[in-house]
Amino acid sequence: RTAGNPTTGYMWTQVSPSTLESADSEYIVNKHPEGMTGVGGCWMWQFNTNKAANYMISFVYKRSWEESAIQRAEIEVKVTDP
């Protein structure tokens, strides 16, 4: 999971090549009062693999129309029983 708020235009994007197959990503909004907009939340990523190994996945948090990211994240995933 990575924290974010797509209402600002920023999105998390996977940038590292990986032998993990990206299966799905979903934005989950934090709990908030009804009618409140612009609320933050987190992105949840799911990947598929059929090989037990350690994987390093890199993401950047940026707007699609801008060159540079404002944040980077590296997440290590250990698959023991695919």
For domain 2-79, give the CATH number. 2.60.40.2020
Candidates 72, 73, 78, 6; CA nearest to 40 is 6
CA 18 to chain centre: 14
Residue 36 · residue 74 · CB < 8 Å = no
Q: What is the pLDDT of residues 3-52, one digit of tens each?
A: 888 889 998 888 876 677 777 888 898 999 998 888 889 888 888 888 88
Domain ranges across the chain: 2-79
Q: What is the pLDDT of residues 48-75, one digit of tens each?
A: 888 888 888 889 999 999 999 999 999 8
Torsion of CA 48, 28, 71, 54, to 10 degrees: -20
In a 13 Å sphere around the CA of 68, the CA atoms on its Cβ side amount to 1
The whole-model pTM stands at: 0.73
